[in-house]
C-alpha cells in the first residue's frame, strides 16, 4: 500500500472512530514548563490524541450550551472563552522553535466549524488542513503526509459537518466553478 492509500484509509478509519463523540485537548498543571507541554502534545499514542480531542470537545460543547441564549455577544464570548482561560496555553517563544501537534485534521473551511474551537485546543496542538468541502486534494494529502512523516503527528482525523454549503454548491446543476 502506498503512502497516499495509507493516508486515505487511516483518515477514514479515524473519522469513523471519532464520529460518535468528536472532541478536544489536555491540560497540564498550572506553571508547567512550556516546552514540556509542547513535547507532551505529541508524546502520545493515536488513542491518547483522540481522547484529548474528545475531552476538549466535551468542554467546548458544555460551554456552547451554556452560552446559547445568553443575552449579549460579549456575555456569550465570556462563557466560551472560559474553556481557554482554564487550560494551559503554550508560550509563543516555545512555538516559534517547534511544533508537535498531537493530531492532523482535514476539515472544511466553513467559518462555523473551526477545529481549534470545537476541540478546545490552543496553538501548536492541531495541524489543520482546511478546504471547502474538506476534500482530499493533492496539496491537502501532501500536507497531511508532512504532518505524519516530518512532524510525527500520531493521529489523522478527517472531519465533515452538516449543512456544508460547498457540498451543496458542488452538487448543484451549475457549480460555481468546475474545480468545485
The pLDDT assigned to 75 comes to: 84
**DSSP label of 28:** P
Whole-angstrom Cα distance, residue 73 to residue 81? 12
CB 133 within 8 A of CB 171: no
Give the count of alpha carbons within 13 A of 44, CB side only: 24
- The domain limits of the chain are 3-19+34-171
Nearest residue to 49 via CA among 17, 6, 80 = 17
The pLDDT assigned to 31 comes to: 42
Q: Is the dihedral of CA 123, 125, 127, 130 positive or negative?
A: negative
Distances in whole angstroms, Cα of residue 26 to Cα of each of 90, 97, 150, 179: 12, 21, 23, 38
Whole-angstrom Cα distance, residue 121 to residue 177? 34
Match 460543547 to its residue by C-alpha cell: 61
CATH for 3-19+34-171? Answer: 3.40.1050
Cell of 123: 496553538
Each residue's pLDDT, cut to its tens digit, for the chain (180 residues) gives 444 454 444 444 444 444 333 333 333 333 456 556 656 665 689 999 999 999 999 988 988 888 888 788 888 888 877 777 766 566 777 778 888 899 999 999 988 888 988 998 888 889 999 988 888 889 999 999 999 999 999 999 998 888 888 888 878 877 666 665
Give the count of alpha carbons within 13 A of 51, CB side only: 9
CB 51 within 8 A of CB 25: no
**DSSP label of 174:** S
Nearest residue to 50 via CA among 16, 7, 88 = 16
Amino acid at each position: 500500500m502506498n503512502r497516499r492509500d495509507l493516508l486515505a484509509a487511516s483518515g477514514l478509519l479515524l473519522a469513523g472512530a471519532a464520529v460518535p463523540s468528536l472532541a478536544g485537548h489536555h491540560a497540564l498543571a498550572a506553571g508547567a514548563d512550556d516546552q514540556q507541554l509542547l513535547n507532551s502534545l505529541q508524546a502520545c499514542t493515536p488513542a491518547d490524541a483522540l481522547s484529548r480531542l474528545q475531552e476538549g470537545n466535551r468542554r467546548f460543547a458544555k460551554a456552547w450550551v451554556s452560552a446559547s441564549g445568553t443575552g449579549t455577544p460579549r456575555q456569550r464570548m465570556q462563557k466560551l472563552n472560559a474553556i481557554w482561560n482554564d487550560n494551559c496555553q503554550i508560550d509563543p517563544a516555545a512555538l516559534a522553535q517547534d511544533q508537535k501537534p498531537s493530531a492532523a485534521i482535514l476539515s472544511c473551511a466553513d467559518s462555523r466549524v473551526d477545529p481549534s474551537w470545537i476541540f478546545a485546543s490552543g496553538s501548536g496542538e492541531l495541524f489543520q488542513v482546511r478546504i471547502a468541502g474538506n476534500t482530499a486534494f493533492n496539496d491537502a494529502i501532501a500536507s497531511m503526509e508532512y504532518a505524519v512523516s516530518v512532524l510525527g503527528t500520531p493521529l489523522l482525523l478527517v472531519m465533515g459537518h452538516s449543512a456544508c454549503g460547498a457540498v451543496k454548491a458542488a452538487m448543484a446543476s451549475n457549480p460555481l466553478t468546475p474545480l468545485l
